[in-house]
Chain A
Amino acid sequence: MEALNLEDIQGFVLRQYLFPVLRHFLLKVGDPAAARAMIGRLVSGDENDAPQISTAEEAPPGTTYHLHLGITYAGLVALQVKEKLPNLAFKSFAAFVEGAAPRAARVGDVGRHAPENWVGGFSTGNAHILLTLYAARADILDDYTTHLTKLFANTKAFEELWHGDGAALTEVVNGQPVPVPKVHFGYTDGISQVSIKGGPEPALPDHQQPCEPWLFVLSDDAENYYLPDPPELSRNGSFGVFKLIQQDVVGFENFLQSQKDKIDPELLAAKLMGRWRNGTPLMLSPETDSPRDGIKFDQMNDFGYVNADGSGDPRGLRCPIGAHIRRVNPRDQPVTGQGRPGGSNNSHRLVRRGMPYGPTYVPGQPDDGIERGLLGYFICSNIENQYEFVLKQWVNDGEFVGAVRMNPKCKDAIIGNNDPAESIFEIRQQDHPDPIKITGIPDFLTTKAAAYCFLPSISALKFIANLK
């Protein structure tokens, strides 16, 4: 196996940035030759000329921003990459070629989530380039934005269709707001990250085998695909699914409270997620979010669900089988598409790079009408087998697991496309034969936009820039 070529891979594929603000720009290609030349300037190495796209090498001290670039298939056409490379073929990557909008129904994005309701031109053929700018401070974000916007306007390379800002949520400490690793609905996020063999950032211990790098970075070594043609364009690239997701924070809190005759609202919040809102996993602490002996941060992800001998929590008494984190990463739980008890990995994992948008919401406060949500980016090597598979088979289905028969109508209560008329979430109890049945769960999310992007390597961006 070849070592990961960190200087060629876009940084955010393999690294999780701690910067508190970011801005995504959706761009339409203006003059194709100017656009290719501009892409070249973003990887020229000349900081004075233009902001530079970050590689996965360790950032030098004092780094204040990171820039990343994704291209949709429509973008490759608009950049004339397809025209100039007659052998261009994403043969085993039909989802990328087709794009997010035509495939929205597969992942449950119908009705109010459907592409005709998406913002910013994401559902049009003009969604070409998604540029992502992380910064250490808001004023730095604005400075680089001004620089990029000027470059794009002066050269007629790109036309901005939309931009969206994300920012870490905050908690007030000593009168000052400080960033916290939380997402709306109040849960601590980012605890569970994929561990990649040879990757620069080892994840927390998690009872799982590290993933093969080709599951996230396109490689000649891959077990289940050939590099798209030409390899100069595809090698060391990745695919990223961008998703703008509105979250109904008031609706979520109200729903938790509405069930308080059946179950304590905080326990319900934990059962729906699989973790207490402070991140403590139910598998390690089913009764309280503050176990007496404490759980060290590096143990917060160190658990499985079902051991090789079938022991553990096969029936979901601690952590419900249908809890969000048990669906999207079943770990050693046998489910369709993944192994047997104690089996520790699968080919359906995703690297998550998300950032909240909208101000921190304090439960109990009245509805201020401000929109809140998540700017999600889900990175993989195969959109069908990773992103779409997880949403279709494990999030929006109730029949993927064998140890306990879930209600066939049971979907992920946090992110599933639930219909309150038929949704159900069952919480099994140690000391009682009947599960607590939570019904009437609404869909707390609204998909506002999505894009299937290719995240080319640095050398591939130069290759595009040099196409004559």
Chain B
Amino acid sequence: MSVKDEDKAEVGLRVGSVTRRSFLSQVGAAGVAVTTAPLLARAAQTEEPMTESAGRAERVENAVAITLNVNGKTHAIEVDPRTTLLDGLRETMVLTGTKKGCDHGQCGACTVHVNGRRINSCLTLAVMHDGDAITTIEGLGGPDNLHPMQAAFVEHDGYQCGYCTSGQIMSAVALLKEPCGPKDADVKELMSGNICRCGAYPNIVAAIQQVRQRA
């Protein structure tokens, strides 16, 4: 039985607690095992030891140890210096509420708060934030205790596909503390760094204005 077969066996064992993310990564690994079966067989014959690396973080060369305070919880992690804050949050800390859209600071899907201010987490390195306090959508509120902005987005249907939504909400919450005029046009200007491909803009602006008026 090869290592890959063991992985497949594990998939079966974990069915009860499978998440969408773990499901996808395991299906991916299983898919690789099927399509590369002849290659694996050959590798086994040449006594090349197969490592149990699928789906696990490998030890990185040049890794830097940092501590991030994310949503009030301290995370001591080691990252390759190239790791963006976005990838650190999603891949290392498995906080996947923050989304990767363009990965070039143009779409806003990756918006998080660092020390209380909104930034694009794709255009900054995790190592640059050693000791910083970071808030992601997971830290804002959950299904049972929605942040007023999350509730307003639900009420006003401020999304369609939902991919940009966590970034929109993180931006909108930061906007509440920024200098912003009263008009819809003022909100649109300060939300221009968050693109919604579905075009839910009118509902997003309505949600934000409702929260501002009630604040």
User: Is the pairing of A and B real?
Assistant: no
Residues of chain B having any CB pair with chain A under 8 Å: none
